[in-house]
Amino acid sequence: MSRTARVLAAALVAALSLAGCTASDRPSTSTTAPVTSASTSEVPQATGDITVFAAASLTETFTELGKQFEAANPGAKVTFNFAGSSALAQQINQGAPVDVFASAAPANMKQVTDAGGITATPTTFVRNKLQIAVPKGNPGKVTGLADFGKDELKIALCAEAVPCGAAAKKALEAAGVTAKPDTLEQDVKAALTKVKLGEVDAALVYATDVKSTKGEVEGIDFPEADKAINDYPIAPLAKAPNAAGAQAFVDFVLSDKGRAVLTAAGFAKP
């Protein structure tokens, strides 16, 4: 037999031997598990514009949460409207196209729910309490709520329709003090600004607002603050233009990442 014939014969034998092997007999050359559709599927991400109406006291934290949310969802854009919760509730009930409402008090959330604007059960995501804010150095020598009844001091409070104003009323009543405010502001940031500019000797704002100034104003704790703690509810709107995005943002606020930002700002867990 020639050399060429011997090579052809050996090749034929090898081919017949391989054909006789079953799939289980053949050694595997793969070192990884087979790829399945579940392992390659991506978690759906929020997309489109998401409009969030949020209490003024949430300005810093929600701005940060918005940045983080957009980073995690590159196809989404979050737009905020920060103001007093009562004003926001009124705007929503008048037909403003809103995806998410975060209120500084359940009463304002209830206004929207009662009008049919919210059908889901709102979730309380943080709590907050008041603190006396005074200009740096405390020129008015304010020590507690009793000073809010002094004629010689300039005092700023939130209007009673605003959550911080309703909480201030409760705290002052608990202290037995009749306040003599020189100005009533429509949201807590406006009251805080009066202190920053030195236009008033003191204001009642949230502890988180004092902390947000990073030392621009000083905060004074008072025991009656525990009598007027505010719960903050959040919910997607029933007719949200971007329903999926609305729910995704609410879920992000309620996530561990969201709670970490809120806790760092001084908000308390519900």
Write out pLDDT tens, residues 60-69. 999 999 999 9
Write out pLDDT tens, residues 189-228. 999 999 999 999 999 999 999 999 999 999 999 999 999 9
Coil vs helix vs strand at 39? helix
Q: Two tokens at 56?
A: 């003024």
Q: What is the mean pLDDT of residues 162-188?
A: 96
CA atoms within 13 A on the CB side of 170: 17
Q: What is the mean pLDDT of residues 185-190?
A: 96
- Specify whether domain 130-227 bears CATH 3.20.20.100: no
Q: Helix, strand, coil proportions of the chain in percent (round to 5)?
A: 45, 20, 35
Q: Indicate the average pLDDT of the chain.
A: 88
CATH 3.40.190.10, the chain: domain bounds: 48-127+231-264, 130-227
For residue 28, pLDDT beyond 60: no
For residue 157, pLDDT beyond 60: yes
Q: Two tokens at 242?
A: 């971007």
| Interatomic CA distance for residues 187 and 100, integer angstroms | 19
Q: Judge whether 124 and 172 are in contact, CB under 8 Å.
A: no
For residue 22, pLDDT beyond 80: no
Write out pLDDT tens, residues 97-155. 999 999 999 999 999 999 999 999 999 999 999 999 999 999 999 999 999 999 999 99
Write out pLDDT tens, residues 243-265. 999 999 999 999 999 999 999 99
Coil vs helix vs strand at 113? helix
Q: What is the mean pLDDT of residues 30-38?
A: 33
Say what the pLDDT of residue 51 is.
98
CATH number of the 48-127+231-264 domain? 3.40.190.10
Output the pTM of the full model.
0.82
Q: Indicate the pLDDT class of residue 53, thresholds 50, 70 and 90.
A: very high
